[in-house]
């Protein structure tokens, strides 16, 4: 319980820092850089640092939590995951719509893209695969979900850092491999591997019974 309380406090602090980073450049511009001998670009860089650093910590922390705890694996069933995934997809649609209206909430386009696109693609794929698992044995769902939670965690990290280094130069891949291309690639690969894993596990269990 005490650990959970500390985690919640940390998340709140990181969220406040991200919000501060998003609004700081605008406030500094409105108040003439607070009378300091700093350029607007300096406040933009500070704002970006306050956004990207806590966001990176949140993503890495989430992945660490998923890797070291079996909470999600034990909590979800195929039906529950289908419902949660559909809800996340609806949230993604709403966020994408609001992002278009409010100019990406003040984030750089690449960062907004790295947040919104996975929020649309992966919940939809999770809902599709978990819907298939509803009609199969629970062992199939457990085997697939164990893969899915690890794969998506790693994919989100790669997509996010692809947005931080647009052009793909730091990854040694094509110059067009940005957050959008990374999302399409990892989503397609996830669906391909998931269908093979589900079919293979179902076939093995069927042969084992017979």
Query: Residues 46-95: pLDDT tens digits?
Result: 777 777 777 767 766 766 665 555 556 666 788 988 998 999 899 888 88
Helix ranges restricted to H, 33-178: 40-68, 71-75, 78-101, 109-134, 138-164
* Same domain as 114, residue 36: no
Confidence of residue 106 (pLDDT cuts 50, 70, 90): low
Arithmetic mean of pLDDT, 18-38: 78
Distance CA 82, CA 156 (A): 20
119, 91 contact by CB (below 8 A) = yes
Total domains present in the chain: 2
Is the pLDDT at 196 greater than 90? The verdict is yes
* Same domain as 197, residue 96: yes
* Same domain as 146, residue 175: yes
**pTM for the predicted model, two decimal places:** 0.69
46, 21 contact by CB (below 8 A) = yes
The parent domain of residue 189 ranges over 77-210
* Same domain as 83, residue 21: no
Say what the alpha-carbon torsion angle 20, 88, 143, 139 is, to the nearest 10 degrees: 140
More confident residue, 44 or 91: 91
More confident residue, 73 or 161: 161
């Amino acid at each position: 319980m005490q650990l959970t309380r500390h985690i919640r406090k940390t998340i709140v602090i990181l969220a406040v820092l991200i919000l501060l980073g998003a609004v700081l450049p605008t406030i500094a511009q409105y108040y003439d850089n607070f009378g300091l001998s700093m350029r607007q670009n300096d406040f933009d860089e500070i704002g970006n640092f306050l956004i990207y650093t806590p966001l990176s910590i949140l993503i890495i922390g989430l992945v660490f939590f998923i890797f070291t705890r079996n909470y999600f694996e034990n909590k979800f069933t195929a039906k529950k995951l289908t419902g949660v995934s559909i809800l996340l997809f609806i949230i993604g649609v709403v966020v994408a719509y609001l992002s278009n209206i409010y100019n990406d909430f003040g984030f750089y386009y690449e960062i907004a893209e790295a947040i919104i696109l996975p929020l649309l693609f992966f919940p939809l794929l999770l809902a599709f695969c978990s819907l298939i698992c509803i009609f199969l044995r629970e062992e199939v769902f457990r085997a697939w979900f164990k893969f899915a939670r690890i794969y998506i965690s790693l994919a989100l990290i790669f997509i996010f850092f692809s947005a931080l280094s647009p052009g793909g130069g730091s990854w040694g891949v094509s110059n067009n491999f940005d957050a959008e291309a990374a999302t399409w690639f990892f989503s397609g690969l996830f669906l391909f591997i998931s269908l093979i894993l589900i079919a293979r596990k179902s076939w093995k269990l069927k042969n084992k019974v017979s």
